[in-house]
Structure 1
Amino acid sequence: MAVLRREKGQSLQGSRIAVAILIGILLGCVFAVFYPHGFFSSNPTGSHRRIASSNLQTGLSSCESPERIKMVKSDIVLISEKNAELKKQVRELNEKLQLAEQGQDHAQKQVLLLGKQQKAGPFGTVKGLRTNPTVVPDESVNVRLAKLLEEVAVHKELIVALANSNVKTMLEVWFANIKKAGIRNYLVVALDDHIVDFCKSNDVPVYKRDPDSGIDSVARTGGNHAVSGLKFRILREFLQLGYSVLLSDVDIIYLQNPFDHLYRDSDVESMSDGHDNMTAYGFDDVFNEPAMGWARYAHTMRIWVYNSGFFYIRPTLPSIELLDRVAGRLSREPNSWDQAVFNEELFSPSHPGYDGLHAAKRTMDMFLFMNSKVLFKTVRKDPALKTLKPVIVHVNYHPDKLRRMQAVVEFYVNGKQDALDPFPDGSDW
């Protein structure tokens, strides 16, 4: 009996446990359906959300006045402006950083552009690069001029002269002797319609620029110096199109083809205003200051300026930079002489506050590309030098240009040996 009661008690206890487990499972299912996020969830649902939203609206309506809202909006505008300013400063700093990085490896990039890096050779055999690469031609700069240059230029080279009606008579002597010398690749940039008609009537290649209000008044009525300053702006298009230009004033007599006597190893190849070997090609000039005692003598290097009325310029980046620099200065300094500015930009070295132009230069032979001081002061008085035939004679030192140009033609072309004799070495004033 005792055994029977014990078995019944165990059976009853097991049934109770099973029922409890079943009830727990049922309750768990009910809670899972009605409370999916649990009793202690941070995301209230149903009525909790409605209560919270109601409380928030009540707080806003009771706490925030129109003035407060206006202040908040004003603060937002100020913050937005400061944010925009900060973005601008960051952008400018990034640009400066990029420029600095470009400057650091500029020399390296230039070497890579011009060729692979090389080791230095034995003593006395090393030669640096002398010729900068030409730019890639860009015909979109001036399609009309590009088509004309294809017809006129020879081997991508030509003589270019600027002229208005003030120099018509000298222009006629200029192109007449170019034709006599058998030169085909030359072009007159006409600065007024009268010169266009004059050139066409004489079968002379001519180009008239599109209207440009900024410089047209100078082009039509300006004197020699004013017109001379325009060439630096006008020549830029020729270089961008990939052409080398022999820039010429009209007070020049051509006796030979100049393209047969160029080296083409520099950005700029120019005739000199010098009148002997020292002044034309440079010399050591000793400056004497007795007050300095032991250090009274200071050595200086000097050279007479290049003539901005006759120079050969190749289509390279330094050449275009030179034209930009000179044209820019002449626009800012209207009283400056273009030849002085041309030489300052070409020769001034880099120094604090100034980056010099990195352009290669060559001085032309002063007896082949002769200025009128060399001719009238030296050559005509020397029997040996009188037998030499120059490539050109530039009447740049004398104001009576037309008469002397005609005399040069008589002497060198027509063989009249006394044609140069009546003129003084210099001018009468």
Structure 2
Amino acid sequence: MAGRRDGLLTRPHGSPSRGSRIAAAVAVGILLGCVCAFLYPDGLFRSFSRVQYSADGSFQASVARVLTMVSLGMDLKANVIDVVFMCIDTLVKCETSERTSMLKSENEELKKQVSELIAKLKLTEQSVNQAQKQTLTLGEQPKAGPFGTVKSLRTNPTVVPDESVNTRLANILTKVAVRKELIVALANSNVKDMLELWFQNIKRIGIPNYLVVALDDETERFCNSNEVPVYRRNPDESIDSIGRTGGNHVVSGLKFRILREFLQLGYSILLSDVDIIYLQNPFDHLYRDCDVESMSDGHSNMTAYGYDDVFDEITMGWARYAHTMRIWVYNSGFFYIRPTVPSIELLDRVADRLAHEQAWDQRVFNEELFYPSYPGYDGLHASKRTMDMYLFMNSKVLFKTVRKDAHLRRLKPVIVHVNYHPEKFARMKAVIEFYVNGKQDALDPFPDGSMS
């Protein structure tokens, strides 16, 4: 306080002091009081009833009115008050409007900052929990704690990034990725329409960290013309001819080989097919506690998250009932994969099998993830998590269940994957109409299953 008092009292020569300004204000007040007493002997408030605003409500009109009345010899007192009140009214309105706009702007900025802080806090908590588990597991041999307190390690440590694998891709990822994460989609010109719908929705939400791996020149030009981040593989790669001419399943098989480089560079990837509509930012809904986090092809709690399926074999008599553990497969068109050794081993295993077998990539992906070790085979030790089936929704869940339930219709998923239906583009547009544009009957024309 002492420093502030000195600063106010010590002023350059010729500048008015705070005391002089106060004295001037008091003098002006006394002067105005005398004028009012002279002009309004019956009292100021009694005279207020005579005040009337100008027809257009403007300050300039009131001044003009006063001057006119002076020239005509009319009563000046009411018009003086008119001018004063119009000044006060104009100042109050301006201040209120500016203040309201400023408060709205500050409120939006605070909301944005709070959201960013919550996201950072969530990531920090996840990192702390993962670090604690890794320290317990990889450090000195621990003793088992009390009952119910023992937690095993599911979040494997990430690999050391190796930019020598692909320096060109490394430079692109440095610009595109956010917190070493990004969405990656593979596409050729065969899926141009769906690709456009795919990145339009990503842009609409405001997701900055996404990348299209173009498998032909036309797709690369298309992405560049629409300001979409794109990466074109080196043209001398032996698999490029497959990528240029192959259908959906062939392209799906390529992604496991291509994704390996992303993981080697130290980036976590949310692999995405292009028949997906984004309605929220998926990075706000990930747990990041496993090697692989995938959406399910299941359509209920049992099928998506696992259940005890009893097999009945009558000829066995007393032992006729055999219990089996069942879960519907993970969808290989939308999964989050961290840059860990088990994750890279998974990609290597799937890519190798697809190179030597005529097999569906999704089947191989799930077999390598879930099959245990047995004589002659070493299972993969990769941790996995099933995504929430109502947030990361497949089209069977949407068209068979959600659209028919009044409560579930109110939920807003993160993504909708049109994986169960061949008429993909039409259903993708209907999903946008329903969830984005609010057209409540947009999904009604479609049957539960495919149209043919």
Letter in 2 for 1:277: N
Gaps of 5+ in 2: 1-133
1:148 is paired with a residue of what secondary structure? helix
Give 1:191's match in structure 2, choosing from 215, 221, 226.
215
- Residues 420 and 112 (structure 1 numbering): CA distance in 2 closer, same or farther, change over 3 Å? closer
What residue is the counterpart of 1:152 in the other structure? 176
Question: Displacement of 1:217 after TM fit?
Answer: 1.4
Give 1:163's match in structure 2, choosing from 172, 187, 197.
187
2:451 is paired with a residue of what secondary structure? coil
Letter in 1 for 2:253: G
Structure 1 runs (4+) greater than 6 angstroms displaced: 110-113
What residue is the counterpart of 1:358 in the other structure? 381
Distance in structure 2 (CA, Å) of the matches to 1:374 and 1:238: 31
CA contact (8 A) 1:233 1:324 kept: yes
CA contact (8 A) 1:174 1:253 kept: yes
- Residues 113 and 282 (structure 1 numbering): CA distance in 2 closer, same or farther, change over 3 Å? closer
CA contact (8 A) 1:273 1:304 kept: yes
2:159 is paired with a residue of what secondary structure? coil
Mapping of residues 216-255 of structure 1, within 5 Å:
216-255=240-279
Question: Displacement of 1:216 after TM fit?
Answer: 1.2
What residue is the counterpart of 1:141 in the other structure? 165
What residue is the counterpart of 1:118 in the other structure? 142
The TM-score, its normalising length taken from structure 2, stands at 0.70
Give 1:207's match in structure 2, choosing from 231, 237, 251.
231
CA contact (8 A) 2:137 2:152 kept: no
Distance in structure 2 (CA, Å) of the matches to 1:340 and 1:378: 25
Deviation readout 1:227-268 (Å, 9 max, x if unpaired): 000000000000000000000000000000000000000000
Letter in 2 for 1:176: Q
What residue is the counterpart of 2:310 in the other structure? 286
Deviation readout 1:368-413 (Å, 9 max, x if unpaired): 0000000000000000000000000000000000000000000000
User: How big is the alpha-carbon RMSD for the aligned residues of Structure 1 and Structure 2?
Assistant: 1.2
Distance in structure 2 (CA, Å) of the matches to 1:385 and 1:111: 42
Question: Displacement of 1:321 after TM fit?
Answer: 0.1
Query: How many residue pairs were aligned?
Result: 319
Give 2:366's match in structure 1, choosing from 343, 358, 372.
343
- Residues 302 and 212 (structure 1 numbering): CA distance in 2 closer, same or farther, change over 3 Å? farther
Question: Displacement of 1:111 after TM fit?
Answer: 9.1
Question: Does residue 299 of structure 1 match 2:352?
Answer: no
What residue is the counterpart of 1:382 in the other structure? 405
Gaps of 5+ in 1: 1-109
Question: Displacement of 1:428 after TM fit?
Answer: 2.3
Distance in structure 1 (CA, Å) of the matches to 2:306 and 2:407: 24
Letter in 1 for 2:410: T
CA contact (8 A) 1:153 1:186 kept: yes
What residue is the counterpart of 2:280 in the other structure? 256
Structure 1 vs Structure 2: percent identity of aligned residues?
A: 82
The TM-score, its normalising length taken from structure 1, stands at 0.73
Question: Displacement of 1:112 after TM fit?
Answer: 9.1
Distance in structure 2 (CA, Å) of the matches to 1:256 and 1:111: 34
Q: Which has the larger radius of gyration?
A: 1
Question: Does residue 424 of structure 1 match 2:440?
Answer: no
Mapping of residues 72-151 of structure 1, within 5 Å:
114-151=138-175
Question: Does residue 276 of structure 1 match 2:300?
Answer: yes
What residue is the counterpart of 2:199 in the other structure? 175
Question: Does residue 326 of structure 1 match 2:350?
Answer: yes
- Residues 243 and 213 (structure 1 numbering): CA distance in 2 closer, same or farther, change over 3 Å? closer
- Residues 111 and 180 (structure 1 numbering): CA distance in 2 closer, same or farther, change over 3 Å? closer
Deviation readout 1:261-314 (Å, 9 max, x if unpaired): 000000000000000000000000000000000100000000000000000000
